């Protein structure tokens, strides 16, 4: 049971951080930038850098806390969850030219990821689905909205038009 909890913890760290960071980044860039290619390129660079950082951080945290017999594997779980989630969120911008439609599809994908993870977690831990789902959804939505506002403000304040 402990191994499952640690794996879920590592997984939720990667998934939720990718949802919040990548979706927030995308939302901020949608208003600041006009081309999907720049959004995708920026998203890839930021996601890979963040996934590597999350992998190393999870590894070091597991070693420091002595929580895991295999801290490297836990780090890899976190990094892989981050990369997979970020890739799913960026894909609409590869296939859909209209940035606002792509953003909407990315948000729907984020909701589906949150549903899938929380269903898995509810089944493994025999916990209720709705409270954890709503908590994760609200956090992700608030951060995405704030990043969107920052993108609008940055574009207007700095008169950026790319």
The model's pTM:
0.88
**Token reading at 76:** 């890899």
Query: Tell me: the pLDDT tens digits for 2-41?
Result: 455 457 888 989 999 999 899 989 988 887 777 899 999 9
Report whether pLDDT(46) > 90: yes
Residue 100 lies in a domain: yes
**Token reading at 112:** 């589906």
Query: Tell me: the pLDDT tens digits for 91-134?
Result: 999 999 999 999 999 999 999 999 999 999 899 899 999 999 99
* CA nearest to 89, candidates 40, 142, 53: 40
The Cα 124–Cα 137 span in angstroms is 20
Query: Tell me: the pLDDT tens digits for 47-85?
Result: 999 999 999 999 999 899 887 788 999 999 999 999 999
Residue 61 lies in a domain: yes
Domain containing 144: what range?
2-157
Residue 162 lies in a domain: no
Residue 126 lies in a domain: yes
**Token reading at 42:** 């920026």
Q: Structurally, how many domains does the chain consist of?
A: 1
Residue 69 lies in a domain: yes
């Amino acid at each position: 049971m402990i191994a499952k909890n640690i794996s879920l913890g590592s997984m939720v760290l990667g998934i939720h951080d990718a949802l919040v960071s990548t979706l927030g980044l995308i939302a901020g860039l949608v208003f600041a930038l006009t081309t999907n290619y720049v959004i995708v390129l920026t998203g890839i660079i930021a996601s890979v850098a963040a996934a590597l950082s999350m992998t190393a951080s999870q590894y070091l945290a597991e070693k420091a806390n002595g929580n895991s017999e295999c801290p490297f594997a836990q780090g890899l779980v976190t990094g892989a969850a981050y990369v997979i989630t970020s890739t799913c969120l960026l894909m609409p911008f590869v296939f859909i030219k209209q940035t606002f439609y792509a953003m909407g599809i990315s948000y729907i994908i984020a909701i589906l990821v949150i549903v899938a993870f929380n269903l898995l977690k509810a089944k493994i831990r025999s916990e209720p689905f709705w409270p954890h789902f709503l908590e994760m959804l609200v956090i992700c939505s608030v951060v995405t909205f704030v990043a969107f506002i920052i993108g609008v403000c940055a574009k207007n304040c700095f008169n950026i038009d790319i």
